[in-house]
Amino acid sequence: MTEATHAKGFIRRFFGGIGAAITWLRRVFTNLLFLLLLLFIGALIFGKDERLTVPQGAALKVAPTGALVDELSPPSGLPGFIGGPPGPVETRVKDLVDAIDGAAKDKRISSLVLELDYMVGANLSKLEEIGAAVQRFKATDKPVYAVGDNYTQAQYFLASHADTVYLNPMGSVLLTGFGAYRNYFKSALDKLKVNFHVFRVGDYKDFIEPYTRDDMSPASRENNQRWLHQLWGEYTEQVTGLRNLPPDAIDMFIADLPQKLAANKGDWAETARTNDLVDKLASRRVAIEELQEKIGVGDDKQSYKSIDALAYLRNQKLTQIPHPSEKAPKIGLISASGAIVDGEAPAGQIGSVTLGNLIAKAREKKVDALVLRIDSGGGSAFASEAIRQELLATREANIPVVISMGSVAASGGYWIATGGDRIWASPSTITGSIGVFGAFPTFEDSLEHIGIYNDGVGTSELAGAMRLDRPLPEAAASVLQQGVENTYARFLQIVAEARGSTPEEVNKIAQGQVWTGRAAQKLGLVDELGNLNDAIAGAAQLAEAEDYQVVEIQRELTAGEKFLRAIMENVDAQVAASIEANLPLGAWLSSLEPALAPVAELKSFRDPRALYVRCLICRAP
């Protein structure tokens, strides 16, 4: 070995050693940072509740963020504000209702404050449930305040329940009425040479219209106009009653808004005040100072004395005394939200296997009664029937089953509901839509346009009939149409047997027609009007249980999902929502979501026979 070679080898080893040392130090540093992050998050998650106390005389602060839901979506990755995909934060309605009801009886809680600026989405029935809890709180002679920079229509519905409504002088109350608008894709599909094959029963079954028309059909327009006006009547009647306004005050405010604004020189806030929609115009700082005088000063000296509703609920769960008797009757509660699909599905969808397993689990727990909360516009006919069969098996085990309809329980959602002993709906629930359709696209013309062809042989005309790259044979079309008609007849028979009617009578209110909960009760489609708590009390009555406990039966989260949810529950949700709302990409994607919704719906089309019981605009305002 020459001297030069030896020197070269030494230099390589020397710098290689430095590189290895740097790599080792980098790994150690990275691991230490990750460990510190885990320790910080662990302290945040597991130490927060232990330190939490309820201040004497504090207000319960109800500040929902994102959309109000019956069932939280599963955490699927990092939150949007730390690098994950953008998406709205969610607040579970039952959590807010339980917190408000608990605070109403708690002598430490002096009042309730509604801060609604970060609530971005809510159906009327969910607002009504929270509003009813606020009314129960007010019945204990504790005051309720609402503070807002601006009020959307949904936010204002809750704010109207307050004794005093504060509005920022630069803010507004934006009331517009309810609407139902969708994008239609027929011309786009024609240009793409996509053939969309549709088979349906029911003049009003309009779920498939965005793919077959460029506008709303007259039957769909008539149907949707009816229930929208009924829901708007529910909204205006409650708001005007709570604010002691004339019955037509809200409609007149909207109709005459340009003139009313002109009378106040374009000042939205003053227009709201002069029309008695709000009580005081005050900046957030001034409103907080007034609340500090009424309630007390918070520990940070910057806000009023309060405890967040969800933090209060966690505190109550940690400190509550266990039920004195293990033998106390148990009312099982299962939430089912989203499109109905065959097989397994995460939260946010209703999988026939997933929900069926939860219902079977309720039987194993030997609950005395079961309440199934449905919030769904339908989906697979096969999956809906599989779930209904599980409910019937529960009843056969001498366990009463009560259905609680959320914002919507239509089409497949109503199919499932027929499996209950009793059906409860809120006045503003959207239900019915009893009809069936089959649909799927084929792309043979699209492929031929770019030079791709399909050919082959089969033992019959139906061989390869359901391929997306081949034309649909007439025999296959006939089979599908007959399947739709048979499924519709089965749907009518199931409803008739459950509601003590006949298929002929049910058909008169079926054919895809949509009804509000109040109208559905008059038509005999539901038994009672009331919220989830009313349905639970009704289930207890069927079980002849006076002193009972409610046992929620939920899909088990994975360890990773539990970890991510714990993070989301302990970060400042208002900060997260604010950051996500102001991200340009997030805002752009949010604006596209309504337009692309019908396209996104296609991914849930996985019924084994391509038969669906689904409602188009069954998303209550």
Q: Which of 161-165, 458-462, 555-559 has the lowest mean pLDDT?
A: 555-559
Q: Domain for residue 398, yes or no? A: yes
Q: Are residues 526 and 411 in the same domain?
A: yes
> What confidence tier does 49 reach under pLDDT thresholds 50, 70, 90?
very low
Three-state DSSP at 151 gives: strand
Higher per-residue pLDDT: 219 or 416: 416
Q: Check 61, 126, 205, 260 and give the catalytic one.
A: 205
Q: Report the helix count and the strand count for the chain, using DSSP H and E.
A: 23, 23
Active site residue 411: yes
Amino acid at 70: D
Question: Which of 170-179, 477-486, 554-563, 612-621 is predicted most confidently?
Answer: 170-179
Percent with pLDDT over 90 in the chain: 57
Has residue 21 got a pLDDT over 80? no
CB atoms within 10 A of CB 462: 12
How far is Cα 178 from Cα 189, in angstroms, rounded to an integer? 29
Active site residue 205: yes
518 near 524, Cβ under 8 Å?
no
- Take residue 451 and report the two structure tokens written for it: 């030079």
Q: CA angle, corner 111, sides to 108 and 114, nearest 5? A: 130
Q: Domain for residue 287, yes or no? A: yes
Encode 465-479: b = buried (16+ Cβ within 10 Å), e = exposed: beeeebebbeebeeb
Higher per-residue pLDDT: 74 or 399: 399
Q: Are residues 425 and 282 in the same domain?
A: no
Q: Among the three residues 318, 339, 364, which one is the final residue of a domain in this structure?
A: 318
Kindly provide the residue ranges of all beta strands, DSSP E only, lying in 158-202, ordered along the sequence: 164-167, 195-201
User: Please, what sign has the CA dihedral across residues 83, 86, 91, 92?
Assistant: negative
Q: Domain for residue 234, yes or no? A: yes
Q: Among the three residues 318, 346, 362, which one is the final residue of a domain in this structure?
A: 318
Q: Domain for residue 207, yes or no? A: no
Return the pLDDT at 34. 58
Q: Check 404, 411, 426, 501 and give the catalytic one.
A: 411
Q: Are residues 468 and 479 in the same domain?
A: yes
Q: Which domain holds residue 281?
A: 51-178+215-318
Return the pLDDT at 620. 54
Question: Which of 123-137, 459-473, 478-492 is predicted most confidently?
Answer: 123-137
370 near 408, Cβ under 8 Å?
no
Has residue 461 got a pLDDT over 80? yes
Average pLDDT over residues 22-39: 62
Return the pLDDT at 618. 58
Q: Domain for residue 40, yes or no? A: no
Has residue 404 got a pLDDT over 70? yes
Return the pLDDT at 607. 54
Return the pLDDT at 462. 83
Average pLDDT over residues 131-153: 97
Three-state DSSP at 514 gives: strand
Per-residue pLDDT reduced to its tens digit, 176-228 = 999 988 889 899 989 999 888 888 787 777 778 888 899 998 988 998 999 99
- Take residue 372 and report the two structure tokens written for it: 């199934």
Per-residue pLDDT reduced to its tens digit, 558-589 = 555 555 555 555 544 444 444 444 444 444 44
**Average pLDDT value over all residues in the chain:** 84
Q: Among the three residues 278, 298, 318, which one is the final residue of a domain in this structure?
A: 318
Percent with pLDDT over 70 in the chain: 78
The domain spanning residue 443 has which CATH number? 3.90.226.10
> Rg of the chain's alpha carbons, rounded to an integer?
28
Q: Are residues 384 and 289 in the same domain?
A: no
Q: How many domains does the chain have?
A: 2
How far is Cα 537 from Cα 534, in angstroms, rounded to an integer? 5
**Region for 204 from its dihedrals, namely left if φ exceeds 0, alpha if ψ lies in -120 to 50, beta otherwise:** alpha
Q: Are residues 301 and 331 in the same domain?
A: no
CB atoms within 10 A of CB 298: 19
Q: Are residues 350 and 221 in the same domain?
A: no
